[in-house]
Amino acid sequence: MIVPMRRSHAADVAEIHTEVFSGDFLPCLGFDFLRVLYDSALAGGVGFGFVHVEDDQRSGPHERARESPSTRFRLLRGFIFGCVDTRALFKHVLLHRTLALTWAALPAVLRRPRLLRYITETVFYPNKERRSPHLAELVAIGVEAAVRGRGIGERLVAELRRAFRQRGISSCRVTVLQSNEDANRFYGRLGFRRTSEFTLYGKRWNVYVLDGIGTSKG
C-alpha cells in the first residue's frame, strides 16, 4: 500500500536511504543528518513524497499486541521524495535547520574532513542546472533489496507524477550516477529522457527529464 509521506516516516525513510545509497555522499553524513533533512523538508512543505508500507507477517500475535497501534502490522519498505523547486528546498532546510544538520553531520566530518568540500558542492548543487526550465525534481527513491522486483518503484514514481500533476507541474527531472546502470535503465523504461550531464563529488551524473506530466497520460 502506498500512502503520503509524513514527518513520522522521516526516520524509516532515512534508514532506507542509508541502506540503498550506502557509500554515496549524503548517507556518509549519517542517519541523523538524513532524518533531519527529510523532517525539515516535510515540515516546511518544500518537499513531499510517498511511502510503500505492507503488513508485517513476521510477528506473532503476542508480539503484535505489544506494538503501538500506530506501527502495528505495518512495515515501511520503500519511499519516493520530490519537490517543485530544488532551490527552495535547499534554502528552507539550510535556513531553518542549520544547527541540527551541522550537529548531525559533525562526527562524519571530523572523521573525514574532505566531506566539507562535498557539503559546499551540495549547497550549490541547484546552480548546476540553473538555466534549466525543469525546477521540479524527483529527489530520491529507494526500495529495500528484499522487496525489489515487485513493481514498487514504478508505483511510487506513478504516485509522484500524479502529485506533480495536481500541483500544475508539467515536467520534472532526476539526476542519476552514470555508473548506476540499473537506475539509468529504470528511468529510461519509465519514459524519462536524458538531457544533459554534470560533475558532482568528482563523479559524472546524468540528468533525465519526464515531460507531459500535466497530460492525461502523465
Cell digits for 100? Answer: 541540527
Q: What is the pLDDT of residue 123?
A: 73
Q: What percentage of the chain reaches a pLDDT higher than 90?
A: 66
* pLDDT value for 102: 92
d(CA 207, CA 126): 12
Tell which wins on pLDDT, 99 or 135.
99
The pLDDT of residue 84 is above 70: yes
**Alpha helix (H) residue ranges in the chain:** 10-20, 25-28, 31-44, 61-65, 86-96, 98-111, 115-123, 152-166, 181-189
Confidence class of residue 155 from pLDDT cuts 50, 70 and 90? very high
Quickly state the pLDDT bin for 178 (edges 50, 70, 90).
very high
| pLDDT score recorded for residue 160 | 97
* Least confident segment among 53-57, 70-74, 158-162: 70-74
pLDDT at residue number 217: 52
Q: Which of 126, 132, 130 is nearest to 171 (CA)?
A: 132
Complete domains list, the chain, with CATH: 2-210 (3.40.630.30)
* φ, ψ at 76 (rounded to 5°): -85, 120
Query: From residue 56, how far is each of 69, 72, 74 by CA, in Å?
Result: 13, 8, 5
Please say if the pLDDT value at position 64 is more than 60.
no
Residue 60 has pLDDT above 80, yes or no: no
Mean pLDDT of 43-47: 94
Better-predicted residue by pLDDT, 41 or 117: 41
Place of cell 551541522: 102
Instruction: Work out the average pLDDT over 183-188.
Output: 96
Q: How confident is the model at residue 21 (pLDDT cuts 50, 70, 90)?
A: very high
pLDDT band at 132 (very low <50, low <70, confident <90, very high): low
pLDDT value, residue 191: 94
Residue 72, pLDDT > 70, answer no
**127: which DSSP letter?**
G
Within a 10 A sphere around the Cβ of 11, how many other Cβ atoms? 15
Percent pLDDT > 70 in the chain is 84
Asked whether 37 and 25 are in contact (CB, 8 A), the reply is no
**How much is the pLDDT for 12?**
96
Residue 178 in grid coordinates = 552514470
The three-state secondary structure class of 177 is: strand
